[in-house]
Chain A
Amino acid sequence: MMQQLPFIYFGGMALVCALLVVISRVAIYSAMALLGMFVHVAGLFIILDAPFLAGVQLLVYAGAILVLYLFVVMLLNVHSRGTMLQRQTPWAIILSLLAVGELGYLVLTSHFYPKLPAIPHPTVPTLGNTETIGMVLYTQYLFPFEVASVVLLIALVGAIVMARGRSGVRQG
């Protein structure tokens, strides 16, 4: 029980923050809750002995992506329009019930939960966490890694093309 206390705290807080992201009406509060969630997920990585992932989680998600979200929210000055959102309630209930039903069916029929092997405690390798990730990433998973970078490059080029518009005139 005592050993699971950090997990219960970080996992629980991540869940609470994730809920707050969805239910708060002010976009800035949602973004703040998302920040809280990222921090607590980083905590989960730390108790899994993966400090590198924790650092990257904070650096990339909290430090770069969420700042851009905030940027957009502030520039657009979004106000919540309660009535428009409430019109979706019946549909939302139907769809979410469907989703929960599907998930429940899957969980019940596939029995995957009891079959999960006991997760061995990650043995501390002779190499550090960072070195291990580098080794695996550049040998075993080299192809997916390169594909991911090409996909990102395409997104980058696409964003630039869209931002420049069709006129072909260089804006700057």
Chain B
Amino acid sequence: MTFRRGQKVEVYQKSQDEMWQSYMDEFVGIHGIVTDPDTNINDPDALVEVSLNGKGTFRLPQDCIRLLEE
């Protein structure tokens, strides 16, 4: 599992995933905290719950977020 609860992340690009919706475009560049990682089977394809600073909490595909620190 790449993402763990409590890790700081950045939305660094738009996702190509079908779950990415147009209102999420404004999330690019926003920092946040992983609040619920992929609870399935450590699936790189699973959606990760991220709380974005000043935006709210969303389930995002993993290809648009990256770790800010370990």
Same complex for A and B? Answer no
